[in-house]
Structure 1
Amino acid sequence: PGSSQRFLDKSRSLAADCVAYDLEDSVTPHKKAEARQLVRRAIDQAAPTQIQRKTPISILALIESAKSITNLNEICRATPLLQGLIFAAEDFALDLSLTRTPSLTEFLFARSAIVTAARAHDLPSTIDLVCTAYRSDSAKQLLEEESRGGKRLGFNGKQCIHPTQVETVQRVFSPEAEEVEWAVRVMIADAKAAEAGKGAWTLDGKMIDVPVAEKEKSI
């Protein structure tokens, strides 16, 4: 929340890839003016020492309504500053009068549409919905399951609402050791197959062709 000086100070020590200072839902109306001033002072400070490079100003668009889903192409073309899409599931559920369930199947169409549109317009970031559980005994397991589900759908990141969620999300969305090992083997074998003039071949009983090889190359 942009209205909390304590949280603003704490954000400078987080290991998250991106920190969002909220001036919307988590700030009550009578606190918004103060929150804007606090956030402005926070971002005017010298960058934390752990930041390795300065990135250009860019925009991540929140997709949070039925209208935004139907206008995804227009949103993706709106500005060259746009670098990604974020699925705001709670606002989307409110707009459509949906009830969120552990399976998240009620969001499947919207999530797939967001990932597809971002890829079609070469946007590098697709950020999945928030896991709202972070205090219960099962919270970490639920976060892991949601993160893996989002990764399978094509998202490459996930929103966090508490610092304890960051490590799990970063781990799940990073390539695992087995994935890296397999990708290296595919790349080596693909080079040999290309020299032999083979467009498709097998490795450990699995067919490998150009789309598969390109996916492993991205890892």
Structure 2
Amino acid sequence: MIIRSLLYVPGSNRRFIEKAHTRGADAIIVDLEDAVAASMKTEARDALAQSVPLAGKAGTPVFVRVNNTQERLLADAEAACRAGSFGLYVPKVETGALLQQLATHLEPIERELGRKRTVFVPLIESPAGVFAAAEIGRGARVFALSGGGEDLATSMGAKPLPQVLNLPKQLIHLAAKAAGVLSFGLLRTVADYADLDGMRDAANEARLFGFDGASCIHPSVVPILNAAFSPSPEEIDWARKVIAADKIAADVGQGAHTIDGYFVDAPIVARAQAILVLADSIDKNSETAHG
């Protein structure tokens, strides 16, 4: 599954939820946590039966960000599962045991409903979570890992500056890649969404670091993420050139070779193949969405 952009919408705002499927995001996150006032959390959870289908009206995968508190976690997760959510965004994860607890709770509900299992995106938002990221990445049902910039900085007693977030977010990213799951995020906070040039620079940087996509809190950022995490026409042309040249080299029994003075060997070829696979997958997703 290709997910370049994930748009948060408050679970208590019906108007935003109704419009979510028109924003062009590859996935929607209906938020029950930070975007919802404490007095509205139960009402937002009870509304998931309508909110999740509305947000996913165009066939877009819908995640629900639950509250990681003793009194709300399992009830939020069950409501999201019954509403048909594709997955859960689980905040403030510090151990893999929490994910197993969630999986154990949801298994009989999923059997009852006859639905596919709900996947998890752990949000790592503390130093303890960063140091446990490898374990968390190997946890039950993990689809992707992500780091919460604002919470990470707060837990460190720091400001959410790019130079503060760079190291912990890269460690979370490496844990995701080691576990073979997707990696979502930018090496900065997403809170200052109005800085579109900064968001564009950060998204392009994240793509160069190998991130697969990122979340945002405003629809104006969605096209920036979709563009940044898609191969450019120049990249696609380069990849096709590499693949074609490698086939010619292989036909004459040559391994490593050069293209325009650039050394090409197996890792370069693999990178070119990955670019073409990604481009093809994006094209197919677009055809399905408009078909």
Tell me if TM exceeds 0.5: yes
1:3 counterpart residue number: 12
Counterpart CA distance in 1 for 2:138 and 2:192 is 34
Q: Which structure 2 residues correspond to residues 1-219 of structure 1 after superposition, within 5 A?
A: 1-44=10-53, 47-49=56-58, 51=60, 57-79=118-140, 81-101=141-161, 104-123=162-181, 125-129=182-186, 130-135=189-194, 139-219=195-275
Retained in 2: the 8 A contact 1:89–1:107? yes
- AA aligned opposite 1:186: V
Greater Cα shift, 105-114 or 142-151: 105-114
Whether contact under 8 Å (1:183, 1:217) holds in the other structure is yes
Give 5+ residue unaligned stretches, structure 1.
none
Q: Are the counterparts in 1 of residues 146 and 173 from structure 2 also a CA contact under 8 Å?
A: no
1:199 corresponds to which letter in structure 2?
Answer: G
The alignment's TM-score, normalised by the length of structure 2, stands at 0.68
Alpha carbons of structure 1 residues 40 and 141: separation in structure 2 relative to 1, 3 Å: same
* CA distance, structure 1, for counterparts of residue 54 and residue 31 of structure 2: 18
Q: Secondary structure at the match of 1:216?
A: helix
> Structure 1 152/49 Cα, relative in aligned 2: closer, same or farther at 3 Å?
closer
TM-score (norm 1): 0.89
Uncovered stretches (5+) of structure 2, i.e. residues with no partner: 1-9, 62-83, 87-115, 276-291
Bigger relative contact order, structure 1 or 2, given CA contacts below 8 A and separation 6+?
Answer: 2
Give the aligned residue type for 1:128: G
Q: Which amino acid aligns with 1:114?
A: I
Q: CA deviation at 1:45?
A: 5.4
Gap change, CA 1:27 and 1:51, over 3 Å in 2: closer
SS at match of 2:263: strand
Cα–Cα, structure 1 residues 19 and 45, in superposed 2: closer, same or farther, change >3 Å? Answer: closer
State the number of aligned residues. 211
Q: Distance in 2 between matches of 1:33 and 1:51?
A: 25
